[in-house]
Chains A and B, each alone.
Chain A
């Protein structure tokens, strides 16, 4: 059964007879929205069917440098999301779209705001007052500071007052597109491999 966010909010607020208590007195409306926003991040993004060959896809994965940024079963770099269980969390359609157009459906960062919103995944370009340039994904931000993580996985922390330029690029991913570097068959094989990753359990 699919239920909408308002119903979930009402359920959290008012409880359900025979079990779930009402949290209306303990959680503010904004906090309830935060809970819902978090629940939405757990949703499996599911679409499409596997058409490729998972064994061939593993070869493509190993040859394309994916492991420099992604971990599978403890192996690889950690600047991108871990993929050990990605097949359980993401359907083939989503995986294929992400390989072709990495910025098309970026996750929200788990930075909760009192209003109930979430900060988006965000690519940041910045230039310090001394003229040094940096780019990477936003790790955390407040009104006075920004911490980004570059493509190598290194953290860089800046007071905003030390920045000459500070540019947010919504919809831009640090991951390259494989649209022009892999063939259609290779993409399908890679999708098949990723979709097969369901974790040890």
Chain B
């Protein structure tokens, strides 16, 4: 573990910024009322509703053309793509570096305040995933990280000292944590990846003070439990439905919303007849008990690797003149869904990219399957969207100013090839089941930022990109939408029209949530480019 004394390093700033030392304490009330402190970024998506929206507007349509790089942070050792969304509180930014390092930065300069790395086993199992961390959670004076070898660790926010470290799941069996934890009033919620290793998914809650596990919700049922009838005999043993990204929380309903991954094995459904609950779903859990309140399965009996692990977006809007509590989800299967988040009832749904696997959605939002769209042996079956879906894990954004839902879409298909491998007992050696895809040539694919009317999924505008991109979206009260291209452009669009207003070539594409924060009266936009973190501001 490497740390250096926080106070000594920051002593000089105390004179100009006494607030620095008063803070590093983010109680639940601050996260609950994050809208009251737009200068901070306190959860993965900025708030419990996962809107990826910043109320800051110093940077806006009129001055965006002047946006410049303010500082750059490069990790101390070379890493691959950074995918972490930072947490910003009281002048300090908490980021992660692959696989599981936590680093605290000075938000004004990018200078490193402290860094902590776990002692990982020599061989970390990461099957079907890239061993990275999408960020930390903060609560009180602790930050929390899920590690590549499936530990949940609490660190002192001021210096990175370990407060507690719990072993959540067996990495040797394929459990690996990439998603950020979500901090509630008195719980740290965390899931795990591993569907490609055929692990059984779960979502856990831990005591922030002690690390004691308070509840666990298994995302696939055992015999005798509700939903068990949606699996073939024995198939539930290794089932998937992993929870490898961040979720959302409605404090009034006290419900945690989390997306789940694909069933195992992928591309081969021979041994798992039925809908395979609760794979490719969003589950709503009672935050106190972890009990299932409702679920909505986007892709019953899924067979194309279309996980549903994007953070669910919570927003309130009128439907037929009545105010409703809604949940918006641009699913990897190519459909955008609007659900009533109090009960999971389907309200509206519409394809937001070209899709060929379903003829549409029925009145309950269940897809009506199209014929001959399953993976086949040999050359495979051409299906739209591709394995990466209409959008994969990269967060969309909802702006309460425009009522639009912004999503970076993949317009492409692929030939899906059936797998023939079986699930074996014991530690997995690789992706279980085999099969895969053959991608279309580059010119046959493209990407776009699409603005959907959040209550209906109707397309308002699009900004086309050369290739499908893997960059989440941020919208701001400045009337801007930030995202990036696969070719490494980072850009801002007019949130109302989609017109490009600013662009910067970063040399490598972004893979993290663009976020915004403010310090000393100056607004920053922050994103990654490959293995680099960049902060932008006005001159």
Say yes or no: B128 contacts A25, CB within 8 Å. yes
User: Residue A80 at the B interface, CB < 8 A?
Assistant: no
Task: Indicate whether A120 sits within 8 Å of B129 (C-beta atoms), given known contacts A5-B438, A142-B485, A143-B466.
Answer: no
Determine the distance from Cα of A25 to Cα of B172 in the docked complex, in whole angstroms. 13
Closest Cβ of chain A to B38, distance in Å, is 29
Known contacts: A114-B468, A142-B488, A143-B489. The answer to whether A24 contacts B436 by CB under 8 A is no
User: Beyond A10-B436, A29-B387, A120-B441, is A115–B431 a contact (Cβ under 8 Å)?
Assistant: no
A74 CB within 8 Å of chain B = no
Q: Which residues of B contact A120 (CB under 8 A)?
A: 441-443
**B100 within 8 A of partner (CB):** no
Dominant secondary structure of chain A at its interface with chain B: mixed
Question: Which residue of chain B is the closest to A21 with respect to CB atoms?
Answer: B430
Complex partner residue of A14 from B417, B430, B470, CB under 8 angstroms: B430
Known: A9-B436, A25-B126. Contact between A115 and B410, CB under 8 A?
A: yes
Interface residue count on the B side (C-beta < 8 Å): 49
- Bitwise, B428-452 to A at CB < 8 A (1) or not (0) is 0111001111111111110000000
Alpha-carbon gap, A29 to B262, bound state (A): 15
Given contacts A114-B470, A143-B487, contact A25 B125 (CB under 8 A): yes
Residues 157-201 of A at the B interface (beta carbon under 8 Å) = 161, 168, 170
Chain B 226-265 interface residues, beta-carbon cutoff 8 Å to A: none
A144 to B443 CA separation, bound complex (whole angstroms): 16
Chain A residues closer than 8 Å to B276, beta-carbon distance: none
CA distance A142 to B471 in the complex (A): 15
Q: Are A115 and B412 in contact (CB under 8 A)?
A: yes
Which residues on B sit within 8 Å (CB–CB) of A114? 388, 467-470, 486, 509
User: Once the chains are docked, how many angstroms separate the CA of A109 from the CA of B435?
Assistant: 27
User: Are A25 and B131 interface neighbours, CB within 8 A?
Assistant: yes
Question: Nearest CB to that of B126 among chain A residues?
Answer: A25
What's the minimum C-beta distance from B414 to chain A, rounded to whole angstroms?
A: 8
Q: Which of B267-308 contact A (CB under 8 A)?
A: 305
From residue A121, how far is it (CB to closest CB) to chain B in Å? 10
Asked if B466 and A141 make an inter-chain contact with CB atoms under 8 angstroms apart, the answer reads yes
Q: Answer whether residue B491 sits at the interface, using C-beta atoms and an 8 A cutoff.
A: yes
In the bound complex, what is the Cα–Cα distance between A129 and B430 (angstroms)? 54
Q: Are the CB atoms of B505 and A24 closer together than 8 Å?
A: no
**Residue contact A113 to B467, C-beta cutoff 8 Å:** yes
| A22 interface contact, C-beta 8 A | yes
B127 and A108 within 8 A (CB) = no
Asked if residues B489 and A24 are in contact (CB atoms below 8 Å), the reply is: no
Q: How many A-B Cβ pairs are below 8 Å? A: 121
Query: B89 — which chain A residues lie within 8 A by C-beta?
Result: none
B5 at interface by CB-CB < 8 Å: no
> Contacts A113-B467, A114-B486 hold; do A30 and B443 have CB atoms under 8 A apart?
no
Report whether B131 and A116 are in contact in the complex, using a CB–CB cutoff of 8 Å: no
A117 pairs with B417, CB closer than 8 A: no
How far in angstroms is the closest Cβ of chain B from A23? 9
Whether, in the assembled complex, B211 has its beta carbon less than 8 Å from a beta carbon of chain A, the answer is no
Among A33, A108, A113, A145, the residue within 8 A (CB) of B438 is A33
CA distance A78 to B195 in the complex (A): 49
Question: Is B129 a contact partner of A14 (Cβ separation < 8 A)?
Answer: no
Q: Is the CB of A118 within 8 A of B442?
A: yes
Give A6 to B437 CA distance when docked, in angstroms.
7
**Distance in Å: Cβ of A31 to nearest Cβ of chain B:** 9
- Asked if B11 lies at the interface with its beta carbon under 8 angstroms from chain A, I say no
Q: Is residue A15 within 8 Å, beta carbon to beta carbon, of the partner chain?
A: yes
Residues from chain A with a CB closer than 8 A to the CB of B442 are 108, 111, 113, 115, 117-120
Binary per-residue interface labels of chain B (21-56) against chain A in the complex, 1 for a CB within 8 Å, 0 otherwise? 000000000000000000000000000000000000
Q: Which residues of B contact A133 (CB under 8 A)?
A: none
Question: Is B427 at the interface (CB under 8 A from chain A)?
Answer: no
Tell whether, in the assembled complex, residue B431 and residue A33 are in contact, meaning their CB atoms are under 8 Å apart.
Answer: no
* A90 contacts the other chain (CB 8 A): no
Whether B466 contacts A142 by the Cβ 8 Å rule is yes
Chain B: minimal CB distance from A36 (Å): 8
Q: Which of B96-139 contact A (CB under 8 A)?
A: 125-131
Residues of B within 8 A of A37 (CB): 439
Task: Say how far B487's CB is from chain A's closest CB, in angstroms.
Answer: 3
Residues of B within 8 A of A141 (CB): 466, 487
* B387 partner residues in chain A, CB cutoff 8 A: 29-30
| B430: contacting residue among A4, A24, A122, A142, CB under 8 A | A24
Q: Does B465 contact A (CB under 8 A)?
A: yes
Interface residues of A in 100-148 (CB under 8 A from B): 108, 111, 113-120, 122, 141-145
Task: Using known A-B contacts A13-B430, A22-B429, A142-B485, determine if residue A6 contacts B444 with beta carbons closer than 8 Å.
Answer: no
**A118 touching B441, Cβ below 8 Å:** yes
A5 cross-chain contacts in B, Cβ below 8 A: 438
Task: Give the distance to chain A from B130, nearest Cβ to Cβ, in Å.
Answer: 6
B503 at interface by CB-CB < 8 Å: yes
A51 within 8 Å of B by Cβ? Answer: no
Complex: how many Å from CA A73 to CA B429? 48
20 CB contacts below 8 A, A to B, read A6-B380, A9-B436, A9-B438, A13-B430, A15-B430, A24-B430, A25-B131, A30-B388, A30-B439, A113-B445, A114-B388, A114-B469, A114-B509, A115-B442, A115-B468, A116-B437, A117-B443, A120-B441, A142-B487, A143-B464
* B interface residues, Cβ below 8 angstroms from A: 125-131, 196, 305, 379-380, 386-388, 410, 412, 417, 429-431, 434-445, 464-470, 485-489, 491, 500, 503, 505, 509
The 9 closest A-B pairs by CB, nearest first: A142-B487, A116-B439, A117-B442, A14-B430, A25-B126, A22-B430, A143-B465, A119-B442, A143-B485
Other than A4-B379, A120-B441, give 20 A-B pairs with Cβ distance below 8 A: A6-B438, A10-B435, A13-B431, A14-B431, A15-B430, A25-B127, A26-B130, A29-B437, A33-B438, A114-B468, A115-B439, A115-B442, A115-B445, A117-B440, A117-B443, A117-B445, A118-B441, A118-B442, A120-B442, A143-B485
